[in-house]
Amino acid sequence: MVPSTAPALETLFGPAEIAAAVSRVADAVVRDLAGARVVFVPVMTGSLYFAVDLLRALDGRLGIERIAAAVLSSYGAGTSAERRPRVDAFPSPEALAGRVALVVDTIVDSGATAEVALAEARARGATQARLVCLLDKSAGRRCAVSPDWAGLVAPDRFLVGYGLDAGGLHRTLPCVAAFQERIR
């Protein structure tokens, strides 16, 4: 649980650094998926900020045919993913069939959410399931999954802001920050 009096935060990536990373990632996605039929699959709610900024950076340069959100839950109110992510909502087979599923998340940490989302996209008929994230945090990776595109390398700390939260707090920060003290 997050303590009721949360420790101080340290900004790791500010708005300008995030914007530059989003732009780089968008350019790489456009280059690699040029001509593909794409379904943009943001993993809610954590990817909300990144997904919107990425869509703006793509600016019609990619063949996105649909936007269909996925809802997976693993953290609950705590700060560690204690269980395998549960699929609460996912694009239909009709939305994914014959298309590339571009799974979008702000962070790939343990890899569990990404692994489930990619497998679900494939199971529902996507020709490919590709993963894009702002933050690649490989230090805690438990699953054999890596993003196809990542904007920034994240340190092995619990991160909040820019869509990431701690028990519902700090999601709306315009930056990515870490607690200065370890939280449990």
Q: Is the model's pLDDT at 90 over the cut of 50?
A: yes
With the CA atoms of 43, 48, 49 and 50 taken in that order, what torsion angle do they form, in degrees rounded to the nearest 10? 20
Q: b vs e for 107-119, b when ≥16 Cβ sit within 10 Å of the residue's Cβ?
A: bbbbbbbbbbbbe
Q: Is the model's pLDDT at 48 over the cut of 50?
A: yes
Q: What is the pLDDT of residue 82?
A: 55
pLDDT digits (tens, 9 = 90+) for 101-126: 999 999 999 999 999 999 999 999 99
| Residue 3 covered by a domain | no
Q: What is the mean pLDDT of the chain?
A: 91
| Residue 1 covered by a domain | no
Residue 104 is part of which domain span?
A: 9-179
Which of 1-10, 32-41, 92-101 comes out lowest in average pLDDT? 1-10
What sign does the dihedral 164-168-171-176 (CA atoms) show?
negative
> Structure pTM?
0.90
Cα–Cα distance measured from residue 177 to residue 128, given in angstroms and rounded to the nearest whole number: 33
Count how many domains the chain has.
Answer: 1
| Residue 4 covered by a domain | no
Q: Is the model's pLDDT at 74 over the cut of 90?
A: no
Q: What is the pLDDT of residue 1?
A: 43
148: domain CATH number is: 3.40.50.2020
| Residue 126 covered by a domain | yes
Highest-confidence range of 36-40, 44-48, 74-78, 139-143, by mean pLDDT? 36-40
